[in-house]
Amino acid sequence: MEIAPRINVDEKVRFGKPVITGTRVPVDPILGKLAGGMTYEEVMVEYEITREDILATLDYAAKTLASEEIRAVN
């Protein structure tokens, strides 16, 4: 099931974690590699994905964080 453009979930693929459509590549390691300093090009080669896949991953992450609610508990 597509949960965002180019991002799918399927309980039979990576235990239902969000992956790039048409692959078994979860979005979280893509984010981690970018946060760790890898370039888009390095990530594209390592995971055999496109620039559009990376941009879709970043968009998905941004929208997911934007909708998250955090409540302080005292």
Per-residue pLDDT 10s for the chain (74 aa) are: 999 999 999 999 999 999 999 999 999 999 999 999 999 999 999 999 999 999 999 999 999 999 988 888 87
How far apart, in whole angstroms, are the C-alpha atoms of residue 3 and residue 38? 26
pLDDT of residue 59: 97
Burial class (CB in 10 A: 0-12, 13-18, 19+), 6: buried
Q: 2-66 belongs to which CATH class?
A: mainly alpha
Paired sense of beta strands 7-8 and 2-4, if any: antiparallel
Annotated domain spans of the chain: 2-66
Full-model pTM: 0.88
pLDDT of residue 74: 78
pLDDT of residue 46: 97
